[in-house]
Structure 1
Amino acid sequence: MPTATQVLDFDYVIVGAGSAGCVMANRLSADPAVRVCLVEGGGDDRSARIQVPAGTITLYKSPKYSYNFESAPQTRLNGRRLHCPRGKMLGGSSSMNSMIYIRGMPADYDRWAELGCEGWSYADVLPFFRRSERNLLGHDTRVHGESGELCVDQPRDPNPLSHRFIDAAKRIGLPHNTDFNSGDAFGAGIYDVTQKDAHRLSSYRAFVHPVLSRPNLTLFTDTRALSLDIADQTARGVFVEREGQVVLLRAHREVVLSAGAIGSPHLLMVSGIGDEAQLRAAGIALRHHLPGVGRNLQDHLDGLVTVRSSSAQTLGFSRRSLPSVLGAPGAYWLKKKGWLTTNYVEAGGFARTRYAGDGDPDVQFHFVPGYRSHRGRLFEFGHGYAIHTCVLRPKSIGRILLTDDGQRAPLIDYNFLEREEDARVLIEGIKLARAILAGPEFEAIRGKEMLPGAQVQSDDALFDYVRAYAATVFHPSGTCKMGVDDASVVDPRLRVRGLRGLRVADASIMPLLVSGNTNAPSIMIGEKAAQMMLEDAAQTHSNRATKHETNRATLAA
């Protein structure tokens, strides 16, 4: 263990100021008698690149704001390494994502419950979604919240192409869906977003920034978690590096890991918690054998259809778009309109391939009213439009390991296409995306399909395309799996199995990946975790009081 030069005492220490961690910091510190420390490895979020919606595209490869992880070479994707950005600032990935508010489908959570995760069915988790949400769209209050901190709105000024997409989707049988979170996600529509007054509303801005004045809430930024302090099978605190010094943040009640599906298992492993053989190979002394740590990695595999168009109606830089580009700052700051309001994936939807039958949709679309580079660049001059298609319930399972180069950095192996049916579903989804773009709604702006390309038509050719170009939509999950079997890392109350005083609460606990974007579910997980922690603390207090009264009665007798 590191040697600390300073010890600071708290009741709860939360590692990671992301989607889930910020919620817990708010709920736990609502009791002024409870001391809460929230630790973030990145810096502050005071940048227009973060707060203005269109700035999101500048964050994904930023060395300042992103942990720019790369995967291990993917054997079935032609040996390619995939980029995996994770937020490195207050708000975590909720400060760099596309702000889409999608909960997943009710059956996702019912499947969790069927796996033994008692208390995690859709009926169980719905109140926690509602608790956080402040729906500004007049949606059904039976499933939506009205008084939470997280504002859910729609983009202020969607590009006209987003509506073309919705109309074209109707022609292939996808109805206009005005609320993907109603319980039925099937169809196409404008996505709800986590924004307030046309600004990004990250989990930090929603839950922590408004309560920073609480004297019992301590927030540390630019503070790197080094390892957990474990003694007698109990988490006592967290060793961190802060301002060049090693500090022990001691937790008198609990330590909670909310560092995400990469960060949380990594911190467990470098602390000696994980598979014994792997830890010994990495030169780490075993403190607790828990073989499920880092396993069960799941993510949404994504395929792109991208079209070059000469229409300046699409987002893009060209001489013809120069007036709208130059006018964008004024339109945004004066009217909250124009290009800077876009999150680039304003519209999308959920569809069934032939493999889904009459069941839940098995693919999701993210429509981009601008050109997505056929060369993998974040930016290209010119115009166009694109559809991302992702596999909602992948069967291929990967894992997080430790590098063997002495650095002990996380090694991310998605293991994509281990199960060939994932490729089949994606190919069918790409065909549906092409059918949408082939509609007459796009006739006036039709251009050249750059990817997959007109020559790529057969299933075999599309399979080759998937191997050469498929990527991820940045939804890693499952690596600290919740459950009741031997492969589980946490129990249904999110307590790390075999240890006391330690929980995990973030997307890593998902036993199965949800069918959609993961920010809203992660916030729900934070809400539910906080509730369970408060319940457990109250029970402990009650037990102590009962024991005290029993002792008094015994002495009196």
Structure 2
Amino acid sequence: MSRGYDFIIIGGGSAGSVLAGRLSEDPSAQVLLLEAGGSDRHPFYHLPAGFAKMTKGIGSWGWDTVPQKHMQNKVFRYTQAKVIGGGSAINAQIYTRGNAQDYDDWRQMGCDGWGYEDVLPYFKKAEDNETYENRFHGKGGPLGVSEPRAPLPVCEAYFEAAAALGIPRNMDINGEKQDGVCYYQLTQRNVRRSSASMAYVTPNRHRKNLTVRLGAQVRRLIVENGRATGVELMDGTRLSAGSEVLLASGTIGSPRLLQLSGIGPADHLQALGIQPAFDQPQVGENLQDHLDLYCISELSGPYSYDRYAKPHWAVIAGLQYIFGRKGPVASSLFETGGFWYADPEARSPDIQFHLGLGTGIEHGVAAMPQGGITLNSCYLRPRSRGTVRLQSADPAKAPLIDPNYLQDPRDREMSIRGLKLTQEISAQPALSKYILAERLPGPDVKTDEDYFDFICQHSKTSHHCVGTCRMGSDDAAVVDTSLRFNGIDGLRIVDNSIMPTVISSNTNAAAIMIGEKAADMIKAEHGMG
């Protein structure tokens, strides 16, 4: 093997970036961060509105799902980040943590140490919140968390429309209660994206004990005598880890690399000609994601940011941002939304809304020629479970991603209810000044069968995939509650793949929390400062 390190982190995404920043705080620990993607120097990674370019290719692996058999074989673009910072470098910067009950549910499932009161200190430790410093929020952490700088009048009208249906305004959906509509806080600092890489890696690149390698794709993990001892890169380079190999490649990437390394369901691996090194049937199982539906309305005037797509308006938008940190470039375009109920008996909100200040913002979503708004909804606690598998032993081939959307009939029913609720909001008098007409689903969609046909055409991933390397206290779990791989020493998984169930919101803040908590556990186990 070539040069050795104490810790090798595979994946420079949200959790991996946190690990690199925190573990390298101890100058005696040699830390290597391997990121298959490139740098985040392109301005789209820093400008808030750059998100609109992200689901259309930049910084992405370009993968799709397998045809979804419960959605008329629809194939979804499945954006997975290929850049330092991972999802936090290409997402809409929405800072939500889920519901407190989500984490208490984990604890009740046997994940001791992962209840809400256990994880809250790590959310706070990460934060540099410009607005709040209280029981729920912290200041002084690496991650910038701030208020939107570029809302439009239609956002306030949206709040009024929601109030007409009994949905209250909530000034802090990460605080005491999640219920209500809101301006989301954003992972931004000084009206620029604050990704995990920008927060935890870039400020610490000067550390002599931190090595960051971009464009470094791992071919396989090296396991010797039941212990992970290092990695082999695509070019054949072998690197050793004296303490631990930390796999942080995400909900798709982590089970994919495990399987390429012969760690996973033995029958699947043998069928592809891969010699099983460790039979773990749960690797790549339990995939969960939020299915995103949308209602698109055409506006009666220039009330959204759509007009800035035209070249001369784009120049004006650039000048607004440069000289005032305002306008569409300062907007994540989805900073308004909230949480409410498809099932009135649900234990906490089970639907999430996003108000998109334009149309055609994300890949595959229709655009309105005269301008419009997009009202997204997603059912937050799906029962459907999917898989991540290899299509080939060739690491250059894309994995087989199957979220198995709407496999459970309740997911279909609740998703349709959420879409109908967004339509009700958009039909309220408070929005009538702005909305010319609802174009999608539109008046022809009436029965639940119509709605189902509609969402089989018009829906997308919410980019909230989790669960494929499930944490638990049971023998079948992939990792234990300290995120150590069950059955292989020296290997830990630190990313959203460890979630036993998907949280009730966007998932990026939780990935950063997982990185923070894991770093503390690792330091304690190794006696690090």
SS at match of 1:218: strand
Deviation digits for residues 521-543 of structure 1 (CA, Å, limit 9, x no counterpart): 0000000111111111129x9xx
Match of 2:101 in 1: 107
Return the offset for 1:485: 2.4
Deviation digits for residues 396-417 of structure 1 (CA, Å, limit 9, x no counterpart): 0001011148565310011111
Return the offset for 1:303: 1.1
Moved more, 402-411 or 246-255: 402-411
SS at match of 2:433: helix
Q: CA separation in 2, counterparts of 1:404 and 1:250?
A: 26
**Selected match of 1:191 from 184, 189, 193:** 184
Match of 2:339 in 1: 350
Cα distance change, pair 442–105 in 1 and its aligned pair in 2 (3 A): same
Moved more, 107-116 or 374-383: 374-383
Return the offset for 1:60: 1.5
Deviation digits for residues 461-508 of structure 1 (CA, Å, limit 9, x no counterpart): 212222332321111110000012243110100001001000001010
Cα distance change, pair 494–56 in 1 and its aligned pair in 2 (3 A): same
Match of 2:113 in 1: 119
Contact 1:168–1:437 under 8 Å retained in 2: yes
Match of 1:397 in 2: 385
**Alignment partner of 1:414 is 2:403:** yes
Deviation digits for residues 292-346 of structure 1 (CA, Å, limit 9, x no counterpart): 0000000001111011224112111379x77653321111111101110111101
Contact 2:289–2:463 under 8 Å retained in 1: yes
Match of 1:210 in 2: 203
Letter of the 1:233 counterpart: G
Q: Show the 5 A alignment for 1:483-498.
A: 483-498=472-487
Percentage of pairs with the same residue: 38
Cα distance change, pair 356–260 in 1 and its aligned pair in 2 (3 A): farther
SS at match of 1:237: strand
Contact 1:307–1:447 under 8 Å retained in 2: yes
Match of 1:551 in 2: none
Q: Show the 5 A alignment for 1:83-482.
A: 83-137=77-131, 139-241=132-234, 245-317=235-307, 324-353=313-342, 355-357=343-345, 359-372=347-360, 376-377=364-365, 381-404=369-392, 409-482=398-471
Match of 1:555 in 2: none
Contact 1:282–1:406 under 8 Å retained in 2: no
Cα distance change, pair 425–519 in 1 and its aligned pair in 2 (3 A): same
SS at match of 1:307: strand
Contact 2:220–2:257 under 8 Å retained in 1: yes
Q: CA separation in 2, counterparts of 1:488 and 1:378?
A: 41
Letter of the 1:54 counterpart: A
Return the offset for 1:140: 4.8
Letter of the 2:115 counterpart: S
Contact 1:374–1:451 under 8 Å retained in 2: no
Match of 1:525 in 2: 514
Letter of the 2:389 counterpart: L
Q: CA separation in 2, counterparts of 1:149 and 1:378?
A: 37
Match of 2:14 in 1: 19
Deviation digits for residues 423-473 of structure 1 (CA, Å, limit 9, x no counterpart): 111111111101110111211222232211111122232122223323211
Contact 2:56–2:362 under 8 Å retained in 1: no
Gaps of 5+ in 1: 1-5, 542-557
RMSD between aligned alpha carbons? 1.9
Return the offset for 1:267: 0.5
Return the offset for 1:55: 1.3
Letter of the 2:270 counterpart: R
Contact 2:359–2:365 under 8 Å retained in 1: no
Deviation digits for residues 236-292 of structure 1 (CA, Å, limit 9, x no counterpart): 001113xxx321121000001111000000010000100110110111111111110
SS at match of 2:478: coil
Q: CA separation in 1, counterparts of 2:21 and 2:351?
A: 35
Letter of the 1:266 counterpart: R
Superposition TM-score, scaled by structure 1 size: 0.92
SS at match of 1:533: helix
Return the offset for 1:374: 11
Moved more, 425-434 or 515-524: 425-434
SS at match of 1:23: helix
SS at match of 1:37: strand
SS at match of 1:69: coil
Moved more, 161-170 or 81-90: 161-170
Return the offset for 1:381: 4.1
**Selected match of 1:81 from 75, 79, 100:** 75
SS at match of 2:422: helix
Letter of the 1:89 counterpart: V
Superposition TM-score, scaled by structure 2 size: 0.96
- Rg larger in 1 or in 2? 1
Q: CA separation in 2, counterparts of 1:365 and 1:385?
A: 13
Q: CA separation in 1, counterparts of 2:501 and 2:226?
A: 28
SS at match of 1:7: coil
Return the offset for 1:349: 0.4
Deviation digits for residues 333-385 of structure 1 (CA, Å, limit 9, x no counterpart): 111011101111010000112x2415201100011121247992576643001
Q: CA separation in 1, counterparts of 2:106 and 2:124?
A: 19
Q: CA separation in 2, counterparts of 1:115 and 1:493?
A: 15
Aligned residues: 528
Letter of the 1:147 counterpart: G
SS at match of 2:257: helix
SS at match of 2:79: strand
Cα distance change, pair 284–358 in 1 and its aligned pair in 2 (3 A): closer
Letter of the 2:10 counterpart: V
Match of 1:546 in 2: none
